[in-house]
Structure 1
Amino acid sequence: MKNFKSIFKGNLVLKITSLNAVVIAIRLVISLVIQRILAVTFGEVGIAKIGQIRNLMQIITSTASFGTFNGVVKYVSEHSEKKAILNKFFNTVFVFGFIGSFLSATILFFNASWITQSLFGNLDFLELIKILAFLPPVIAINIIFSGLINGLSDYKKYAKIELVSYLLSAVLLLVFLYNYQLEGVLFSIIITPILQLFVILYIFGSIIKKHINFKNIKVEIPFAKELLGFTLMSFVSSILLNYIELDIRTTISNKISTNEAGYWTAMTFISKNYMVFSSGLFTLYVIPKFARIYEGHVFKKEVLNIYKTILPLFGLGMLLVYIFRKLVIEIVYPNFLGLEPLFKWQLIGDFIRLAALVVSHQFLAKKMVKIFIITELMSLGLFYILAKYLVVIYGAEGVVMAHLYRNIIYFFIVLFAVWNYFKMQKSNIDYE
């Protein structure tokens, strides 16, 4: 027992993972209850529509902040004690946020009818999209502050934010569900960032003021070139991914059935619920840690340390999910009969993706824009092409098959890219 305690105390990866696990476990229980209520109330069709609005929110989250989140994490982790540098940096960040918010709001408002028709096949939720058009500034500020907190690696307080925000958003969703049915659920999803921002300001207000001197914020962009790289990476990894998911869901609805689209959406919800266990680790530990590693053997040692810590835990968790998949379906998505065959493909694909994501965060930590974009485009391209081909043959199961196949290929691509990066770094040092 003493030996375990000493290992736990000395392993920051395990600390963050375990604390994050407690928060996510609570979130998971709440999420399962909510998903069951939504599934029973609205069925496969309603779940598919909720999936559409969540994908749209992910796109707006990225565009509103102009993709600066990972850039904020990186630069804050590297210069947390250098106030002069951070002040200039946040000048650029807020200018980017203003540009992203303005463009997002304008596009949403003036294209609301087309967006609504594309997402839902009708104009029933047009007013919701118009309301969403006024929220990008809030979303941008929320993302900037979240990036600051992640960059400081204050994982204990960050866990509080995650938990409190989720609890409040869950209550909000249930209240609006009771009063306004599906439209209320969608509305609660789009205004959740407002709640998150209030929670961040309440818990982290003094720390935000300490690191961001709002009185000295100017309209200047000295870090524009550096942040544009993160904007490009965010466009590929977030915006393009969510657009592809939207398109695939629409394809399933049109070529197979809306019920099949609901099965796939339900599977992705389950996947995102357990994959979110890793999100805090990446932003709070992996990016800040990798940003300070410059030698291949040190990087390899750190990756193996992360693998030894988290892969067995995730592997066991995913195995349990597969073993009890029928129980999960019965509890969370009753009568979703087409959901069971999707589990094996999704779970194996997610496990391999987790292993690949640990390594690929080196691209974000070192702002390797070109390599990141190339590997992500290859990954998304493979997924899109395979999904479009296999969905016609296997229905929704074909999409999760595509998810597995592309992640196997992506893993080896990422390993080769990072190995080649350190090889070139060593060659440059030897040459000098």
Structure 2
Amino acid sequence: MNLLKTSVLNGVAVLIKTATMFILNKILAVYVGPAGYASIGQFQNFIQMITTFAGSAINTAVIKYTAEYHENEHQQISVWRAAGSLVLIFSFIFSLIILIFQKQLSLYIFQTTAYQSVFVWFAAFLVLFNLNALFLAILNGKKEILKLVVANIVGSVLSLMVTSTLAIKYHLYGALIALSIYQSLAFFVTLFLCYKANWFKISYLFGRIEPQIAKNFAAFALMALVSAICVPLSQMVIRSYLSQEFGLNYAGYWEAMIRLSAAYLMLVTTTLSVYYLPRLAELTHLDEIKKEVYLGYKFIFPLAVVGGLCVYVMRDWIITLLFSQAFMPMRDLFLWQMIGDSLKIGSWILAYLMLGKAMTKLFVTTEILFALSSVGLTYLCSKLFGFEGVSIAHLVNYALYSLVMSYFIFRQLEEKVK
């Protein structure tokens, strides 16, 4: 399936997911407010880190090797068995850790024990959370785009139903519980879609972990773990800093800005993961890889630019429609955020080569370096420009990241394919 067909089919799922996100944004804006947004952001970053450590760190490797071994069913099954077994083991370990330290986690993330039981819900559903992510990775690697689209649509609808119901009834507490469980509920639908495929059996998911496959997973796991620590942790640090410097509401405005960026860029980012990453994993010749990157800049990058321009022009209407008048201070962030988002997508078109071709050292180095620079630039720019500085820092950070990607990626790639 080519880039255009994948983008169109994937666009259906993205359209539905974007619509559900916009509806949820409105519901959360009304029922939890700007301060609640900040708490939700902190908890989402925690979920992102834990699910990665508990098994989803290897999902990029599952996509890559499922696609790479498309003519070798035995090798594919060996990959899935290793992945499924690792997910079960690490999900159990981290569920136990969360249950033991639920009080301390609540105090650290929310500065109160009032939300302690949220961590119990999350621990109970963690294994299903990660198995769902594993099934999606398998569908992605097999290029079962239609099944992947259906799974994503169901996940979006479940997210809307569960989160809206719980947030309306229990406000912030309900929203946090919804974050803990809704992806786990989608597991049963994803399992059914895989089960109906003629190439899949439940027995393919569990069994012996072959040493060579574990070794292959290690590089991708390291990259995912570094990313899972650096990105969410840097966001948590920035959110805490904004809360202290400007107040909790301003941390909520920034969280709303991040969510809006994620929503309008979703077609682009999902196309990168659904089509672009498996495609890069398949290619072995430098000329073919360069051609694919060119297509990425020809079709994917302009989408990000046009999307950012539209969002900026309609920013006042968007804030009122998707959030509320209470979120109007986030208006100051739009210009720099939209430019930074375009630079981010431009750099990611190159950065995905690090994942597709397992450039572990470069990936780890740049993730750590630019997570630190994100925090440092936020501190510096907010001192110079006030609250607006947080989005200026976003722009500067991705401008620097783009330059680094442009310089290093193909130099490393030429060495790999020699």
C-alpha contact 1:87 1:212 (8 A) present in aligned 2: no
TM-score under structure 1 length normalisation? 0.91
Mean alpha-carbon deviation: is it higher for 336-345 or for 196-205? 196-205
Instruction: Give 5+ residue unaligned stretches, structure 1.
Output: 1-10
Are residues 388 and 108 of structure 1, via their aligned partners in 2, closer, same or farther at CA, if it must alter by over 3 Å? Answer: farther
Mean alpha-carbon deviation: is it higher for 88-97 or for 344-353? 88-97
**Do structure 1's residue 192 and structure 2's residue 192 form an aligned pair?**
no
Q: Secondary structure at the match of 1:124?
A: coil
C-alpha contact 1:173 1:188 (8 A) present in aligned 2: yes
**Do structure 1's residue 384 and structure 2's residue 375 form an aligned pair?**
yes
Deviations 1:331-363 (A, max 9, x none): 112221211110111111111111111111111
C-alpha contact 2:56 2:133 (8 A) present in aligned 1: no
| Aligned partner of 1:278 among 268, 279, 283 | 268
Aligned residues: percent identity?
A: 27
Any residues of structure 2 matched to 1:249-260 within 5 Å, and which? 249-260=239-250
Whichever residue aligns with residue 365 of structure 2, its letter is I
Q: Secondary structure at the match of 1:266?
A: helix
1:422 matched to which residue of 2? 413
Deviation of 1:212 after TM superposition, in Å, equals 4.8
2:22 matched to which residue of 1? 32
**Do structure 1's residue 239 and structure 2's residue 246 form an aligned pair?**
no
**Moved segments of 4+, more than 3 Å:** 391-396
Are residues 423 and 181 of structure 1, via their aligned partners in 2, closer, same or farther at CA, if it must alter by over 3 Å? Answer: closer
Deviation of 1:259 after TM superposition, in Å, equals 0.9
1:4 matched to which residue of 2? none
Deviation of 1:314 after TM superposition, in Å, equals 2.3
Deviation of 1:273 after TM superposition, in Å, equals 0.7
Are residues 46 and 419 of structure 1, via their aligned partners in 2, closer, same or farther at CA, if it must alter by over 3 Å? Answer: same
Q: Secondary structure at the match of 1:367?
A: coil
Instruction: Give 5+ residue unaligned stretches, structure 2.
Output: none
2:203 matched to which residue of 1? 214
C-alpha contact 2:67 2:282 (8 A) present in aligned 1: no
1:351 matched to which residue of 2? 342
Deviation of 1:216 after TM superposition, in Å, equals 8.4
d(CA) in 1 for partners of 2:189 and 2:249?
37
Whichever residue aligns with residue 356 of structure 2, its letter is A
1:14 matched to which residue of 2? 4
TM-score under structure 2 length normalisation? 0.94
Deviations 1:41-86 (A, max 9, x none): 2221111112122222212221121501100000100113422212
Count of residue correspondences: 416
**Do structure 1's residue 51 and structure 2's residue 41 form an aligned pair?**
yes
Deviation of 1:20 after TM superposition, in Å, equals 2.1
C-alpha contact 2:16 2:156 (8 A) present in aligned 1: no
d(CA) in 2 for partners of 1:153 and 1:168?
24
Deviation of 1:278 after TM superposition, in Å, equals 2.2
1:323 matched to which residue of 2? 313
d(CA) in 1 for partners of 2:170 and 2:122?
17
Q: Secondary structure at the match of 1:135?
A: helix
C-alpha contact 1:264 1:396 (8 A) present in aligned 2: no
Q: Secondary structure at the match of 1:80?
A: coil
d(CA) in 1 for partners of 2:28 and 2:66?
39
d(CA) in 1 for partners of 2:405 and 2:388?
26
d(CA) in 2 for partners of 1:102 and 1:89?
20
1:6 matched to which residue of 2? none
| Aligned partner of 1:227 among 217, 226, 236 | 217
Whichever residue aligns with residue 16 of structure 2, its letter is I
Deviation of 1:393 after TM superposition, in Å, equals 4.1
1:287 matched to which residue of 2? 277
What CA RMSD, in Å, does the superposition of the two structures yield over aligned residues?
1.9
Q: Secondary structure at the match of 1:210?
A: coil
